[in-house]
Amino acid sequence: MPTSTRTRLATLTVAAGLTLALTGCGTAPWAELSTAAASATPTPKATVALVTNDLVNGSTQRTITAGDVTLTVDYYSSLNMGQWTAGANKPLSLTATAALGTDDGKSVYLSKVSVFPGVAGPDGALTAPDTQVDVSDLENGYFMKAPQSYGQTFVWPAIDEEATSLTLSFTYELLIQTTPTSSTYAKQTASDTLTIAIAP
């Protein structure tokens, strides 16, 4: 057999051997590493948004300052918080007393309380009920200087079934005597906000 023919046969034999060797290897090692890394990537877990509930224990007390007046307000509900569902009538009661920082005998009156509701769901704001207002029919308002107090209950109607919280913004309009014997008054406005979770 000529030398050139033997050389070509040897080359073909080596090439065939390499082909068989590569064919027997299966998936390349780096490909296996890439597959393992991809399968090890953690799947994001769904998050649950926590809803603030200022009335989680059924009641809460707030101290609000407006000028020289300090209001102490107790908020509470006669309805168990587990029954504060979207479809229920939801009563919220409050009792408020006023004190003056420089108390020289002047009187404090509450002329008006306004409560502005806001309703939120998983995707944002929802339609809210109407604002509720209590306006005193007395000349100066309700006398509320401690130990006297103002009390009222606001009942909130059914709201959107998708609601997760009800936010109530309170505005208290106060009249304070300018002197202990004066028939003139200064006005102060105090504000507060409660967010209450809606039970599923």
The answer to whether the CB of 169 falls within 8 A of the CB of 191 is yes
Strand, helix or coil for residue 133: strand
- How much is the pTM? 0.75
pLDDT number for residue 30: 45
Same domain, 153 and 64: yes
Same domain, 106 and 156: yes
Q: How far is it, in rounded angstroms, from Cα 160 to Cα 126?
A: 7
Same domain, 80 and 8: no
Q: Does residue 48 sit within a domain?
A: no
Q: Does residue 33 sit within a domain?
A: yes
pLDDT number for residue 119: 98
Q: Does residue 49 sit within a domain?
A: no
Q: Does residue 53 sit within a domain?
A: no
Q: Reply yes or no on whether the pLDDT at 74 is more than 90.
A: yes
Same domain, 12 and 83: no
Same domain, 124 and 77: yes
Q: Does residue 45 sit within a domain?
A: no
Number of domains present in the structure of the chain: 2
Same domain, 175 and 86: yes
Enumerate residues 6+ apart whose C-beta is below 8 A from 35.
Answer: none
Same domain, 99 and 184: yes
Same domain, 71 and 155: yes
Q: What is the pLDDT of residues 130-176, one digit of tens each?
A: 999 999 999 999 999 999 999 999 999 999 999 999 999 999 999 99
Q: How far is it, in rounded angstroms, from Cα 79 to Cα 88?
A: 10
Q: Does residue 51 sit within a domain?
A: no
Same domain, 23 and 83: no
pLDDT number for residue 28: 52
CATH number, domain with residue 71 = 2.60.40.1470
Same domain, 77 and 26: no
Range of the domain at 191: 59-197
Q: How far is it, in rounded angstroms, from Cα 24 to Cα 139?
A: 100
Same domain, 103 and 156: yes
